Structures are given as C-alpha cells and as structure tokens.
Amino acid sequence: MSAALGVAMGVANAVGYLVVLLLSRSLGASDFGGYSALSAYGVLLSIPAGAFQVIIARRIAMNRAGEVTSGLRATLLLSALATTITVVLAPVLAAAFHLSSLWAVVLLAAMLPGMLITGCLQGILLGSHRLPALASLYVVTAVTRLIAAFVAAAVHADVTGVMAAMLTANVLTVLVGGWLCRRELRTVPTTGHALVREMLRSNSSLAAFIALTNVDVLLARHFLSPHESGGYALASTFARAIFWGTQFIALIVVPRMHRVDATRALLRATGLVVLIGLTGFAIVAINPRFWVTAAGGPEYAEYGPLALACVLLGIAWALAQLWLFSEMSRGGAVLGALTWVVTAAQIAVIALWMHGSGAQIALVCGIGATVIAVGGLVELRLRR
C-alpha cells in the first residue's frame, strides 16, 4: 500500500509538470512569473492544510479518546479568515505581483477553503491507513488541475482565466475527497481536545517550511525582470518536483515515529530521499537545456543550467521536509524554530545582496535548506 501511495504521488508530480508545460507556454515568461508568484502566495495561506493533515492522521492512528477528529470545524473558521483577508488585500497584491486584474487574487481567495478541507480529508485517509484511497485523492487533485490548465491554454486565458479554471478543479477535488471519506465524516467528530493549540504548535514548523520553499519565487518576481522571474519560476519547478516527488516518504514516516524502530526508519527514509534526488540530478544533467525547453518551450532555453542547480536545491528541500515532518509527528519544535531563523536569514541575504540572478537566489535557498537538514541529524544524535 505504501508503494501505491508513492506511485500516486509520483504520478501527481509528473502531472504537475504537464501543468507547468501548458501554462508556461500559454502565458509566456512574464505572465507565468506573475501566476507563479500568486500561486506561491496561495500556498503560504494554505499552510494549515498540511498541519491538519499530519495532526489528524496522528490522532486517528493513535485513536485516543477525545482526540480523534476530522478537524473540519477549525478548518472552516481558518479558511474563512484567510479568504476575507485576501479579498481585502486584493488591490495591493495585484499591484505587488504586477497582475492586470485584481480578480485573479479574488479567485485565489475563493480556493482557500477547498485547499484546507482537502488537507483534512487527506489526514483522515492517512490516519485510517487507507493509502489506496489517499493515493486516488492525490491523483484526482493533479488530474483536475491538468484539465483546468488544458482548458485555460486552449482558450488562451490570461492569469485571471487560469485561476478561474483552477477554482473549478479545486471544487471537484473537494467533492471527490468528501465521497472517499464519507464513512469517516459520518462518525468522526468535527473537533477534538486541544486541536487548535496543537495545530498552532505544529503549524509553526510547517509554516516555516512552506515559507522556506516559496519565498524564492516571490523574491525573484520582485528583484528580477518579469522575463527572468518567469524563467526562475520554471526552473524552480525542478526543485519542487524533487520534494513533491519524495513527499510520500515523509508522510509514511509520520505514523512510524511512535515505534521502537523510529530512528532506523528515519535514516532509511533519508537515504531513499537522497537516492531519488541524485537520480533526478543525473537525468537532468545529461541535457539541462533539453529538459527546460521541453517544459516551457524555446523561450526558456537559457535557463537550463539554472534548472540543474534547482534540482540540487530540491534535494536539500526534500531532506528538510523529511526531518521537519518527523519532528512534527513527535510534537517537537526545535527544527521548526531553526527553519524560521534560516528563512528570515535567507530573505535578508537575498534582499540586501544576492539578488542579481536566479542562480544567486537558488544558491542562498539551497544553503539554508542544507543547514536545516544537518540540524535534523545533529538533533537526532543528541536525542540518542
């Protein structure tokens, strides 16, 4: 069953590449950079989805009285707050991301409840050990986004049209996820003891990681030219492919952190992440220009070396993700705090100095993620 989840997340990752291929070509580098920045902002606001997934999975798996919950009540409240804030800030965000219409931001705001609810549904399936169903939900999420991107590209939609199509895909995903979890939704309470407090504690670590892996696109959009920001957005997709593609390893490790062989499982998972990452690097290194052109078209050909550098960045992100997820499952917060410090430091370094090119931004982010991964190893040795 774990293999099925890994395959599904690999398929979802591959489909995500097709989405990039369609949108990077149909929007062009300048608008693709704006779309990527807006999407990164949406990811930052949907941070609680990942925290709920981990917390709900742990609570359902441990099955303690008063703790088992679907988390839907808290999710609806948080998503309503995030949506309201985004709508109010729509004019400011549209100007900051150089968007032609604030409706793109409003449509993103409408997607936030679906993003958070999907995180809860994934947590229910993971905690119930329904890995085939969880795998199906990942595939559905990816395929609906692919269909939305295809339709948007076919009608030559701008960023606003793309966001409208993605909103439709978002709604369909929630409906499918609700159907997969229909049994649990009838029996599992919508809230649980100290859920919000635990979410805030765990959410801090996950929020730090998501900020770590998304601020680069925002900074690139601000400091680079519109065309260069689009090139960086495409190249950074190679980094995201690595940690998206290995995320199933981090998720599988979560329930195993309460077993006697937790340390061995974590070290094996680390080795597997490195192996997958180096395999991806070897494949791209054969002809980086070919891969980046295949993803975005001739307009992005010059960004082949940057895409290869971003693969290394992705390996560092994947390792940081693994160690942070393992710490979250134990209720720790040391690495989460370190990640906040590293994220703040790399923002300062990029803003004040290293923002002359996409390669400089990727280098700073890669060093930061490596510091976190090494911190995880040190923390493990101290605990042992």
Angle between helices 2-45 and 195-212 (to 10 degrees): 90
Q: What is the pLDDT of residue 383?
A: 66
Q: Report residue 133 as tokens.
A: 């169903």
Per-residue confidence (pLDDT) for residue 108, from 0 to 100? 94
User: What gap in Å lies between CA 160 and CA 107, rounded to an integer?
Assistant: 8
Per-residue confidence (pLDDT) for residue 78, from 0 to 100: 84
Q: What integer pLDDT is reported at residue 54 of this predicted model?
A: 77
Q: Give the per-residue pLDDT at 266.
A: 78
pLDDT score at 312: 94
Residue with tokens 């892996």: 213
| Plot region of 315 (φ>0 → left; ψ -120 to 50 → alpha; else → beta) | alpha
List C-alpha distances in Å: 113 to 52, 122, 140, 161. Answer: 13, 14, 17, 20
C-alpha–C-alpha distance, residues 134 and 85, integer Å: 31
From residue 173, give the alpha-carbon distance in Å to each of 39, 69, 117, 251, 383: 17, 21, 10, 20, 41
Dihedral of the CA atoms 122, 125, 131, 133 (nearest 10)? -80
**Three-state secondary structure string covering the chain:** CHHHHHHHHHHHHHHHHHHHHHHHHHHHHHHHHHHHHHHHHHHHHCHHHHHHHHHHHHHHHHCCCCCCCCCHHHHHHHHHHHHHHHHHCHHHHHHHCCCCCCHHHHHHHHHHHHHHHHHHHHHHHHHCCCHHHHHHHHHHHHHHHHHHHHHHHHCCCCHHHHHHHHHHHHHHHHHHHHHHCHHHHHHCCCCCCCHHHHHHHHHHHHHHHHHHCCHHHHHHHHHCCHHHHHHHHHHHHHHHHHHHHCHHHHHHHHHHCCCCCHHHHHHHHHHHHHHHHHHHHHHHHHCHHHHHHHHHCHHHHHHHHHHHHHHHHHHHHHHHHHHHHHHHHHCCCHHHHHHHHHHHHHHHHHHHCCCCCHHHHHHHHHHHHHHHHHHHHHHHHHHC
The per-residue pLDDT string of the chain (384 residues; one tens digit each, 9 = 90 and over) reads 556 676 777 788 778 778 888 898 898 888 898 899 898 888 888 877 777 777 777 777 776 656 666 667 878 888 888 899 999 999 998 888 888 889 999 999 999 999 988 988 888 888 777 888 888 898 999 999 999 999 999 999 999 999 999 999 999 999 999 999 888 777 776 666 666 666 666 667 778 888 999 999 999 988 888 889 999 999 998 998 888 778 878 777 765 655 656 677 778 888 888 899 999 999 999 999 999 998 888 889 899 999 999 999 999 999 998 888 877 767 667 888 899 999 999 999 999 998 889 999 999 999 999 999 888 888 777 766
pLDDT at residue 53, as a whole number: 79
pLDDT at 63: 65
Q: CB–CB of 122/134 below 8 Å?
A: yes
Residues 26 and 152 sit within 8 Å (Cβ to Cβ): yes
pLDDT score recorded for residue 255 = 58
Q: Are 335 and 61 in contact (CB under 8 A)?
A: no
Query: For residues 327 and 333, is the Cβ–Cβ distance under 8 A?
Result: yes
**Could you give the angle at which helices 47-62 and 247-256 cross, rounded to 10 degrees?**
40
Query: Beta-carbon neighbour count of residue 226 at 10 Å?
Result: 16
